[in-house]
Structure 1
Amino acid sequence: MTVSARSDRGLTFSAKLHTAANTDPARPVIELRRGGRALAGSYLYEGDGLITGWHSHEVHQIEYALHGVVEVETDAGHYLLPPQQAAWIPAGLEHQAVMNPDVKTVAVMFDAQMIPDTGLRARIIAVSPLIREMMIYALRWPIDRAQSPTEDAGVSDDFFRTMAHLVTEALDHEAPLSLPTSDHPIVAAALAYTKEHLASVTAEDVSRAVAVSERTLRRLFSDTLGLSWRTYLLHARMLRAMALLAAPGQSVQATSSAVGFDNLSSFTRSFTQFCGETPSAYRKRVAGEKA
């Protein structure tokens, strides 16, 4: 695994999961500050695919994928980070992250007192160009840094307080880019099977995989999630398409096939209705903003 230039200091989730003090071995509390006193700080992850496992933090976190795909799961929802979107994970919220191969993410953490009363739920928020550049600039102040005698803590604290105000404003305009989860065993299995087979899945396939009738499957989705299986499938396909189109060299045609559309015009119509722009326009915009 490759992490940032500071990898020798162990700033990876996999290392943290073995060293953090915790009360629940299955869902440990990760002490990202490692005993430090910083009000806020950052970390950079880049490298191979990684599933962090379930955990929580003692600090608030906002995570943004500079490139690649990141997925965040909580007990309440499954979130995918397309370009220009970041995941807000409040202190104490149990979650796990899936870092897909070749991902590069930057995260900024805040002491809970800096952004109070955010509610104990994850959110997807829009990342303005200003917040994005501030997140990158924040990498000079790692979250686990020790306070040196020569460091001007006031500079970093003022920087992060300003950023905290911007993040607080962004939280008022969250983006509904998430998929529901369920603790119902049959529904949970159906959700997982659907996500794993987006290119070709049918209701019949899912019903067979979870050993219920299609009628029962439809009823369970309606009763437990408040939406149909077909609606869930469409949303899962659109979120996956957004992630795929953000990858360099990914064509609209290949994306359409990868998420289960045989007809390119049908995919374009569905994507445009979901995202407010065509797949080609979305891909061009994302490529331009990355540049």
Structure 2
Amino acid sequence: MVPRPPPRARVDVDALDVPAFGLADDVTPFRGDVHAHRKHQILYADAGVLHLEVGGAHWVLPPQRAAFIAARAAHRAYATGPVALRTVYLSPRLTRAPLPGGDAPGEGRVDCRVFAVTPLAREMILHAMRWGPDHGGRDAVASIFFRTLGALCREWAAEPLPFRLPVARSVELERAMQFAHEHLGERPGLDDAARAARTSARTLSRRFAEEARTTWSEYLSTARMLRAMELLAGGGARVTDVAVAVGFDSLGAFTRAFAAFTGERPKDYRARARAGGSVPGTSRPP
């Protein structure tokens, strides 16, 4: 079990009578409880990798990327390593949720998106920490700043990154997904997953299509890339070792797959992750 951080006074977000504020958290491995806020959240991982469970999906927030979680969306956060997390809470009065619909045809409202962080976005999110939970909400500059940040966030989140995996509803699909994560380096096929799920390959294929709107091979490929992102962000693993760990025999093939998924080569991603903010201590979960 992933340990929780040591106890510390927590901020009751909904009890604060301020329309927006920033909160800096340097966390060690933890697993939070499912909860929701009446405010929207912009989460930015300056260093480390944060995992989010929101709206029937598992999202990965890698270093120097941001996530938007809509107000009142039930979510859980956890981390398997240290994370330098910077969060902005915004009243719905300051910005509409920038998530009018899903990424797939027929998909309804999506409560979370992970998106690329421009230099402007990074500086604005970090500058928002100037106005913490106790700033009082009567600063005219703060009001203009947070309204501007909210408007820009809607634009930034309009181009989401595919850093998520669907969550199973049936026992069979849950078993297959768990099998995928336990065998990322072995290149298992649909028949292998079906045996682990105690069902037929045909039934499992239908489960993936109906419940997850994907295929076994697509799910496995995404799971490999997300795991590779987490390993590379740790800083200690060599690119070659990560490639093998997620099922690639060829470094070139891994580099091409990783670049197609993330938009950057593994070594560049790892260098950028290492150049992020430090994680000096422990704090509360988000």
Normalised to the residue count of structure 2, the TM-score between the two structures is: 0.82
Matches within 5 A, 1:139-178: 139-143=129-133, 145=134, 147=136, 153-178=139-164
Q: Which moved more, 1:200-209 or 1:126-135?
A: 200-209
Please state if 1:60 is matched with 2:40. yes
Q: Is the 8 A contact 1:84 1:128 kept in 2?
A: no
Q: Is the 8 A contact 1:63 1:105 kept in 2?
A: yes
Q: 1:256 to 1:54 in 2, by over 3 A?
A: same
Q: CA deviation at 1:211?
A: 1.1
Q: 1:189 to 1:55 in 2, by over 3 A?
A: farther
CA distance in 1, matches of 2:262, 2:168: 25
Please state if 1:250 is matched with 2:264. no
User: Residue 73 of structure 1: SS of its match in structure 2?
Assistant: strand
Q: 1:75 to 1:189 in 2, by over 3 A?
A: farther
Residue 59 of structure 1 aligns with an amino acid whose one-letter code is: K
Q: Is the 8 A contact 2:194 2:204 kept in 1?
A: yes
Residue 52 of structure 2 aligns with an amino acid whose one-letter code is: V
Q: Is the 8 A contact 2:169 2:211 kept in 1?
A: no
Once the two structures are aligned, what percentage of the paired residues are identical?
A: 34
Q: 1:47 to 1:171 in 2, by over 3 A?
A: closer
Q: 1:184 aligns with which of 155, 170, 173?
A: 170
Matches within 5 A, 1:266-285: 266-285=253-272
Q: Is the 8 A contact 2:5 2:29 kept in 1?
A: no
Structure 2: gaps (5+ residues): 101-108, 279-286
CA distance in 1, matches of 2:117, 2:263: 17
Q: 2:195 aligns with which of 205, 208, 218?
A: 208
User: Residue 185 of structure 2: SS of its match in structure 1?
Assistant: coil
Aligned equivalent of 1:99:
79
Q: CA deviation at 1:117?
A: 4.9
Work out the number of aligned pairs and report it.
Answer: 264
Q: 1:41 to 1:268 in 2, by over 3 A?
A: same
User: Residue 68 of structure 2: SS of its match in structure 1?
Assistant: strand
Q: CA deviation at 1:238?
A: 0.8
Aligned equivalent of 2:61:
81
User: Residue 18 of structure 2: SS of its match in structure 1?
Assistant: coil
Q: CA RMSD in A?
A: 2.5
Q: 1:246 to 1:229 in 2, by over 3 A?
A: same
Aligned equivalent of 2:9:
9
User: Residue 152 of structure 2: SS of its match in structure 1?
Assistant: helix
Aligned equivalent of 2:13:
32
Which deviations, in whole Å up to 9, do the C-alpha atoms of 1:87-135 show, x marking residues without a partner? 1100011111112221221110101111125445211122111221222
Q: CA deviation at 1:261?
A: 2.2
Q: CA deviation at 1:253?
A: 1.1
Q: CA deviation at 1:286?
A: 4.1
Q: CA deviation at 1:241?
A: 1.2
Which deviations, in whole Å up to 9, do the C-alpha atoms of 1:150-171 show, x marking residues without a partner? x852222222122112212112
Structure 1: gaps (5+ residues): 12-30
Q: Is the 8 A contact 2:41 2:69 kept in 1?
A: yes
User: Residue 56 of structure 1: SS of its match in structure 2?
Assistant: coil
Which deviations, in whole Å up to 9, do the C-alpha atoms of 1:204-248 show, x marking residues without a partner? 543233211333322322333332211110111112212322232
User: Residue 235 of structure 1: SS of its match in structure 2?
Assistant: helix
Q: Which moved more, 1:280-289 or 1:124-133?
A: 280-289
Residue 123 of structure 1 aligns with an amino acid whose one-letter code is: R
Residue 172 of structure 1 aligns with an amino acid whose one-letter code is: A
- Higher RCO (CA < 8 A, seq sep 6+): 2
Residue 125 of structure 2 aligns with an amino acid whose one-letter code is: M
CA distance in 1, matches of 2:169, 2:5: 34
Residue 204 of structure 2 aligns with an amino acid whose one-letter code is: L
